[in-house]
A and B are shown apart, each in its own frame.
Chain A
Amino acid sequence: NAGVTQTPKFQVLKTGQSMTLQCAQDMNHEYMSWYRQDPGMGLRLIHYSVGAGITDQGEVPNGYNVSRSTTEDFPLRLLSAAPSQTSVYFCASSFWTSGRRGGTQYFGPGTRLTVL
């Protein structure tokens, strides 16, 4: 298994540009999420999904969109990039089934995004 994969590893954007960060997992996990990591701020939840067709907002959703058309993929879209979105982005996934109280989250390798 490849686990959780993310592309690209690095990206530089200009203010106002849009782009999509890709995330895929091959572990048949129901739960997938996106975090951003900034110095001193920890990992902040952007959006998450508990299954195909179901998404919800996390702590810092503004400026980002997500969709979940398949169990495997959970892309994150930046609509109009701003310098404040310069960060490292991590995708994570875990098992979730009714009655199970949380499971190990597996993280992807991250995408380092710089917005000029």
Chain B
Amino acid sequence: GENVEQHPSTLSVQEGDSAVIKCTYSDSASNYFPWYKQELGKRPQLIIDIRSNVGEKKDQRIAVTLNKTAKHFSLHITETQPEDSAVYFCAASSGSSNTGKLIFGQGTTLQVKP
């Protein structure tokens, strides 16, 4: 089955710096790659996603890149702010491309120091 590996497990940056989180996946049939942010004690919420026919997608300070050949995708956060501190999860679609089934990475705890 699909396996998603996420690195690093923890990341500490100074406010204003950039943060990069990387994920690799095993299923070459995966075609949907969302990123979720989870604040302490709250539910995960989608922040950005990318599909396999696109190499890069940007939304203000957040961008995601996808390399299908290498089977890895990354989240980039620029000009980090204290409110970016949270746990971030990557995910990849699994099995039949139309089931909606997602497999998640282990999560990255991002700390942005003022």
Interface 9-residue window, one of B11-19, B70-78, B93-101: B93-101
A101 touches B43 (CB 8 A): no
What count of chain A residues pass the 8 Å CB interface test? 31
Contact B106 A31 (CB under 8 A): no
Q: Which residues of A contact B43 (CB under 8 A)?
A: 90, 107-110
Contact B44–A107 (Cβ < 8 Å): yes
Note all chain A residues with C-beta closer than 8 A to B91.
43
Q: How far is the CA of A41 from the CA of B105 in the complex (A)?
A: 8
Query: Known: A31-B99, A59-B1, A101-B51. Is A42-B89 also a contact (CB below 8 A)?
Result: yes
Chain A, 45-75, CB within 8 A of any chain B CB: 45, 48, 50, 58-59
Instruction: Let me know if B103 and A59 touch, CB within 8 A.
Output: yes
Task: Report whether B44 and A50 are in contact in the complex, using a CB–CB cutoff of 8 Å.
Answer: no
What is the interface of chain A mostly: helix, strand, loop, or mixed? loop
- The answer to the question of B9 belonging to the interface, with a C-beta cut-off of 8 Å to chain A, is yes
Compute how far the CA of A90 lies from the CA of B104 in the bound complex, rounded to whole angstroms.
13
10 A-B Cβ contacts within 8 A?
A31-B100, A33-B100, A41-B106, A42-B6, A45-B102, A100-B98, A101-B93, A102-B98, A104-B34, A105-B34
Starting from the known contacts A42-B107, A45-B102, 17 additional A-B residue pairs (CB-CB under 8 Å) come to: A33-B102, A40-B9, A40-B106, A40-B107, A42-B89, A43-B89, A45-B104, A90-B44, A94-B100, A95-B100, A101-B51, A102-B32, A102-B98, A107-B43, A107-B45, A108-B43, A109-B43
> Which 5 pairs show the lowest CB-CB distances between chains A and B?
A102-B32, A31-B100, A96-B100, A43-B104, A42-B106
